[in-house]
Amino acid sequence: MELWKLLLAWMGLVLMLRTGEAQLNPNFYQVSCPSVESIVRQAVLKKLKQTIVTVPATLRLFFHDCFVEGCDASVIIASPRGDAEKDAPDNLSLAGDGFDTVIKAKQAVEAQCPGVVSCADILAIAARDVVVLSGGPTFAVELGRRDGVTSRADRVTGNLPGPEFSVDLLSSMFRKNNLSTRDMIALSGAHTVGFSHCSRFADRLYSFNSTSPVDPSMNPAYAKALMRVCPRNVDPTIAINMDLNTPITFDNVYYKNLLNGEGLFTSDQVLFTDQRSRPVVKEFAADQNSFFKAFASSMIRLGRLGVKTGSQGEIRRDCTAFN
Ligand code: HEM
């Protein structure tokens, strides 16, 4: 073989080993734990019967896990010193029910296949399951991730998007994670379920700028309704539905809301006000199938971020602690 071909093959191998992407596979546990998906699904269903929060909490947990250190369940580690990923300010609003879903599913999996399935994979499966169970699209989850051995609060800063972000900021943060602007718009559709605390959008109601206290891109009737549920100095624990119309159904109403000026965060509404992202918002608002297809493939790409495979990382026994 010519030298340059050898070099290229070697570079490909190094790249594959570094990203680990090539090794994920939906049938990864076919021999070692063939029932893993049904065990996780049962555990998710059981948890969902206890609380609907299971859906948004698990979905958001997956996103926050993948954007910091990759999809390696580093966000689930509990630290006695309060300096793990989950203790970072951006993660304090992650609902406990998401963690609990993964912890319970892991216990059920361990009972049948001890030491085989990673917490990272269980989170990926559970995130898909909550989407399906709330009416969203199904897809095959790629598996074979291993659990990370690093979980630090100081690694979170600057790696998660904020509700005040513009399309440029959103796009560049997703691009850093190998995700396109279309992926970003599709994944934002996760805000079709779940809750937000008033503080995350209060500036849009009370202190937008010097000429207009209310964000002019917000539908005035929607702004009024939000002011009623989130008055100034509201109890900081109050959380409201993000999709005002169908808050517990995974559908494309999130995009229809944006067309009406009913996006909750700046980072939601800018997807419609910015000319560059508007056509995709319109497409998803008009065609739920198109949104579902895009969301499913973007979730698969999200699930590939920084994964550890082969001999990297570990298979945790308990999702909240390193072995
Ligand atoms: C595009 C940039 C994004 C921004 C700026 C953003 C920001 C936020 C904020 C501020 C909240 C409210 C947290 C609270 O007050 O409790 C929230 C909730 C949520 N986010 Fe995002 N998010 C983004 C993308 C995503 C993605 C990609 C997903 C999943 C694929 C996601 C899923 C969720 C879910 C399901 C909730 C509701 C959580 C619950 O009810 O417990 N978000 N997001």
User: pLDDT digit string (tens) for 123-175?
Assistant: 999 999 999 999 999 999 999 999 999 999 999 999 999 999 999 999 999 99
| pLDDT tens per residue across span 1-56 | 554 444 444 444 444 444 444 589 999 999 999 999 999 999 999 999 999 999 99
Residue 317 resides in a domain: no
The DSSP 8-state label assigned to residue 155 in this structure reads G
CATH of the domain at 53: 1.10.520.10
Q: Tell me which residue has its CA closest to atom 17 in ligand 1.
A: 196
Residue 281 resides in a domain: yes
Query: Could you tell me if 132 and 54 are in contact, meaning their C-beta atoms sit under 8 angstroms apart?
Result: no
| Co-location of 115 and 178 in the same domain | no
Using CB atoms within 10 Å of the CB of residue 92, give its burial: 0 to 12 exposed, 13 to 18 middle, 19+ buried: exposed
The DSSP 8-state label assigned to residue 319 in this structure reads T
Length of the chain as a residue count: 323
> For a pLDDT cut of 90, what percent of the chain falls above it?
93
* Pocket probe mutation, ligand 1, options 58, 59, 60, max atoms within 8 Å of Cβ: 60
- Regarding pTM above 0.85, the answer is yes
Domain boundary among 145, 160, 175: 160
| Cα dihedral 76, 82, 84, 86 sign | positive
Residue 39 resides in a domain: yes
| Co-location of 276 and 173 in the same domain | yes
| Co-location of 99 and 187 in the same domain | no
| Co-location of 144 and 227 in the same domain | no
Q: Confirm or reject: Cβ of 190 under 6 Å from ligand 1.
A: yes
Q: Where is 130: in which H helix or E strand?
A: helix 119-133
Cα–Cα distance measured from residue 95 to residue 56, given in angstroms and rounded to the nearest whole number: 8
Total domains present in the chain: 2
| Co-location of 110 and 224 in the same domain | no
Known binding-site residue numbers for heme b: 191
Boundaries of domain holding 134: 24-160
Q: Is 64 a catalytic residue?
A: yes
Domain boundary among 127, 160, 193: 160
Q: Confirm or reject: Cβ of 93 under 6 Å from ligand 1.
A: yes
| Co-location of 116 and 215 in the same domain | no
| Co-location of 42 and 128 in the same domain | yes
| pLDDT tens per residue across span 56-74 | 999 999 999 999 999 999 9
Q: Confirm or reject: Cβ of 254 under 6 Å from ligand 1.
A: no
| Co-location of 89 and 190 in the same domain | no
Q: Confirm or reject: Cβ of 101 under 6 Å from ligand 1.
A: no
Beta bridge pairs of residue 147: 314
Can you tell me whether residue 207 is helix, strand or coil?
coil
CATH of the domain at 190: 1.10.420.10
- Name every residue whose Cβ is closer than 8 Å to that of residue 290 and which is 6 or more positions away in sequence: 283, 284
Domain boundary among 111, 128, 160: 160
